[in-house]
Structure 1
Amino acid sequence: MTTAAVLGCSPAALAATQVEPRARLSFEERFDDDVRLAGAPGTVPVVGGATAAQPTGQLMSKVSPRIGLDVKDPSLKLESFYATDLLVRHGSGRVSLDHRGGLAVNKLLSRRLKVDVSGSIYRVTDPTSLPRESVARSNQPVLYGMSRLNVTQRMSRLVDVGAGYTFEGVKVLALGELNALPAGFVHTPYVEAWLRTTRRLSLGVEYRYQAFLFGDNMDQAHGAFGALRYRLGRHTTTTLRGGPVAFLGQDGTRGVLPRVKLELLHERGTFDAGLVLGHDLVGASGFSNTLWADYAGLTFNKHFSNRVRIYGAASFFRNGKAPNEDAFSLRVGERVSQGYALSTGLVFEVNRYVSMQAAVDRIAQVGMTEVAAGVNLNRNVAAVRLHMTAW
């Protein structure tokens, strides 16, 4: 799609095209009390097996080269990257290699028609490093991917319509009995429309279909939602979505659950923050098909100068068997998993090519019956990082 768009441009447009290669090298030293570091190789927890001994932690070194290519013109913005993470554990001598890649394209086909495409793929030995919590809740390597396509058409000064598709997939890459686990996928097409009623308020409607696949099992869900987007001020916007979701399980399970999602975004000069809260159906968890999920996340960045900033993030999840098993109970049942993550750090920009970072992370994530039984992924990480950008 991108190649065709570039070839179809006029000579004047091509003259304005900017192609910018990117290259960055990061070094990290960390202390990590990851539960997987403890015990002999035979004591690592597996489904139905015994848990490992309590971790004592060890120092690690990580080297992360990253390359990318950006392409820009008046109607196109393309960003791509590929990165590897080489992690050396000094105490045990173990070495692991992870891979990450991503692509994002924003294309204006006309003054009123816009297309957004994005995708990313991860092959990681540490599931807690993935961009979505509760994915493959175990201590096993994971292959994870996600993508999104959205087309937006401005019908008039007040009305926008859009259609899109999102994809998510995960496969646990493990030995022994876990190797029998199939890959899990979620396919989500949707259509939506927005009406700007005032300068601050927009109202929307959305229909969404979900297909959850896990091996030979396929669950489905249909949802109809209303939406409200309100600009609280010049720099703060809130969006609220809600409505019923009808769940149709292949095993005959039926049910209706509410979908609620609240987003709050603040962007102003030296400070930006985001908040998200919600309840929905999710899939691609690695060990089962469809789950209900409660989730919450908070992020912020504070710039003290052009060189110094601090950041922080906090997140929480809780999920269980779809459509509603223990969903509205405060107790943690046998088939309910939950966890949280906390992160904060300080970044110092030496110059446009070099930056330094100090960070502390706390992760608490516990898998229950349908995942790796007894696996406790609680961990604490303290790290210092050096980032060097070539161009």
Structure 2
Amino acid sequence: MCGEVSAETLEAYRRASLSVFELLDHLERERLTARAEGKTPWTLAPGEQATGVCAWNAFVLQTLGNAFLDADYQTHPGTVGFVPPITADQVMRFYEPVEPWLRRARQAQANPQFVLDVTVPAALPAWSEVEPCPNTHLKGMLHAMRAVRDHAQAAMAYIEASAPTETRQQKQLDTIRQHYAAATTQARYADDMHGIDPSRDVHERVEEHLKAAIEQFYLVGQLVAMPERAEKAAVVAPPAALPKAQPLPGQPGFNPWVLTDPLSREKFQRDPEAREAIRLLWVHDPAPEKTLAIQAEIEAAYTRGDISIAKKADGSRLGHFFCTPWAAIYTVNRSVTLGGVALVPLQTFVFDVSIEGMNRGVPFRRQIKVAKFVSTTELEYGDPNEEPDH
């Protein structure tokens, strides 16, 4: 009746918190041991550095997800177990990358020469697309920021106690100090401004500072674990080249199957119903040049290595999306923006293009869909006469 959705899946992710926090506690104890043995963040083995990065990222993301859930339950005790859809979406964005970071941390613990297969420092998942954010989100951010700040302070104490031995290391430490100073300043400003019941104007200002503080602390923890990455953290990547214009439907050279997973195209091309579904998709697309431009962005990102084909935990290929045009599912390796959506490492996404429900007033859908994908035997052909169910 309140329009909320079940938090059952989110609660399952929350129950996995213990292993994340145990790993962070282990990391902080190992740092004390390393300091006693005369080791510094610069002299740790690659596997030890990777463990630190992955453990930190998993901790921050898990803390954010837990804090947002707790804030909603405390504010609305009558609907515990249910949350607003926007909260469910935001919390899932935090929770979804936790297990991949945790898995890599465990692998790095077992292998001193472990090398990360994703680029760090990584950015946080995108914040919910609503301004200002709900009061419960602000409350969750505040609690999460305080918890993350405490552990960031411990991380800084660890690296500050390790005297750099080279000029380059000193520059890296100075850069990390700069990011930490920015984070603590934003955090204190937000703390002081918040008060008990902030007005709308104050709410928006506090939200801005909280987000900036959390993002900076997230960065600092990664740089402490891998201080050499501090040099790259200050570098702004040059803009990517614009994708070349693609032939449009009806023009020579146009490939109607360009959106379909390349390894599955032959299968669908033999299916008469699939061929008709693809034809209708392009007939109903009001701006095929926009669809093809986003697809070109995806292909360029794949070529650069920013994204890769999504795989299951056992290393096998996850497969394609279940609905027309049966696009490939990707995993993000490096922070990248596709179709106007900012993506961060370990997120999984698909280019969802659909005409479902168009004959019933549902608008054409063209979006980068970020989600947790699982295997299914279902297969849909994007009927414009039926309401979308995904």
TM-score under structure 1 normalisation?
Answer: 0.25
Higher helix share: 2
Higher relative contact order (CA 8 A, sep 6+): 2
